[in-house]
Amino acid sequence: MEVTSKTTWRGKMKFTGTAWSGRELTMDAGAEVGGDDSAVRPMETVLIGLAGCTGMDVVSLLKKMRVEFNKLELNIRADKTEEHPHVFSRIDIEYVIHGKDIDPAKLERAIELSQDRYCSVSAMLRKHCPVNHTYRIVKP
Amino acid sequence: MEVTSKTTWRGKMKFTGTAWSGRELTMDAGAEVGGDDSAVRPMETVLIGLAGCTGMDVVSLLKKMRVEFNKLELNIRADKTEEHPHVFSRIDIEYVIHGKDIDPAKLERAIELSQDRYCSVSAMLRKHCPVNHTYRIVKP
């Protein structure tokens, strides 16, 4: 399947892009490299995109498994290299889920299905560096 | 260098994340998978992030080379696999630059420096699939 995106320079370091959904994403750089610090950095879009990708899988899988939860957060910690290009060399995702009756086995299964089978962003990044995960269940 | 991001579920398929800049990025899915189609998809953030990453490099390198331009657009065409996970299997970037006196050799040098040395998103994706590029100079 072919997909396209179009990204336009908006002066200084600002760029706005759209892709198949038609929704916009604006990126900027910090003042130290000539930007206005008005929007996310390109490398941040990758890490946040990874969280959104696996987060949507987990929400959808838990719904199918009839697991109820109130809150879901994905905390990512990554190592970024000092030398050019400044790539991530290791990514650790922590899934934090809040609910009073969450079955750890079902949550684990949902996370593993996402990481091993559905999450496209994770599958691509994993070719480049390790993507690890842990989870934490919080009872209200 | 350690970096972190925090992404929070906001109901249905919506997620909002922040990382080191503190700027927010909201993602959503389409109605066909239970979303509200209110924001970019996670996989779009990767493709648009790639364009922003190499676009910022090129702007910054052309500035150093004293190449003047009025407009810069990055068109990406990618193949996405039909089977799970729906990863990109090939990415083609077209840089379209507008200006009345652009030296093709300098533009080519800027693009190659970005692709071979500076662009972090490209360096990571390239481990997964080919990332090709072409350019087009438009005289006003």
Verify that A56 and A23 share a domain, yes or no: no
pLDDT tens figures, A61-80: 999 999 999 999 999 999 99
What is the rounded average pLDDT of the residues A36-58? 98
**Total residue length of chain A:** 140
- pLDDT band at residue B110 using 50, 70 and 90 as cut-offs: very high
The beta-carbon contacts of A115-118 under 8 Å, at least 24 apart in sequence, are A115/A54, A117/B84, A117/B85, A118/A57, A118/B84, A118/B85
pLDDT band of A55, cuts 50, 70, 90: very high
List Cβ neighbours of A45 (8 Å cut-off, separation of 6 or more).
A25, A27, B25, B45, B46, B48, B49, B52
* CB-CB under 8 Å, B48 with A7: yes
Q: pTM (2 decimals)? A: 0.98
Q: For residue A79, report the phi and psi dihedrals to the nearest 5 degrees.
A: -95, 135
> Do B33 and B83 sit in the same domain of this protein?
no
Q: Are residues A25 and A63 in the same domain?
A: no
What is the SS3 string spanning B9-74?
ECCCCCEEEECCCCCEEEECCCHHHCCCCCCECHHHHHHHHHHHHHHHHHHHHHHHCCCCCCEEEE
Beta strand B131-138 pairing with B88-98: parallel
Residues B77, B24, single domain; the answer is no
Task: For residue A131, give how far its alpha carbon lies from the nearest alpha carbon of chain B (Å).
Answer: 13
A125 & A95 share domain = yes
A51, A32: one domain: no
Kindly list the strands in the beta sheet with B2-9, ordered across the sheet, starting from the edge strand earlier in the chain.
Answer: A131-138, A88-98, A71-80, B2-9, B15-18, B24-27
A80 CB neighbours in chain B (<8 A) are 1-3
Indicate if B89 and B60 belong to the same structural domain: yes
- Residues A47 and A18 both lie in one domain: no
Q: Which of B19, B25, B131, B139 is nearest to A124 (CA)?
A: B131
Burial A34-62 (b: 16+ CB within 10 A, else e): ebeeebbbbbbbbbbbbbbbbbbbbbbbb
Picking from A25, A38, A41, the nearest residue to B44 by CB comes out as A25
Length of chain B: 140
Torsion angle of alpha carbons B7, B10, B13, B19, nearest 10°?
-20
* Domains identified in chain B, total number: 2
Structure tokens at A43: 């490398």
**Band of residue B24 on the pLDDT scale cut at 50, 70, 90:** very high
Cα–Cα distance measured from residue B139 to residue A117, given in angstroms and rounded to the nearest whole number? 47
- pLDDT of the residue at B57: 98
Beta bridge partners, A64, equal none
Q: Is B45's CB within 8 Å of A48's CB?
A: yes
A87-118 per-position pLDDT tens digit: 999 999 999 999 999 999 999 999 999 999 99
Q: Convert the pLDDT of each residue in B61-79 to its tens digit.
A: 999 999 999 999 999 999 9
For residue A140, what pLDDT is reported?
A: 84
CATH number, domain with residue B64: 3.30.300.20
Q: Do A53 and A20 belong together in one domain?
A: no
A46 and A34 together in one domain: no
B140 — pLDDT class (breaks 50, 70, 90)? confident
Report the mean per-residue pLDDT for chain A. 98
Question: Same domain for A81 and A134?
Answer: yes
Range of the domain at A88: 42-138
Task: List the single residue in B with minimal CA-CA distance to A79.
Answer: B2
State mean pLDDT over B1-10.
Answer: 98
**Strand-pair partners of B75:** A6, B94
Q: Are residues B35 and B73 in the same domain?
A: no
The residue-averaged pLDDT of A19-38 equals 98
* Minimum CA–CA partner of A9 in chain B: B72
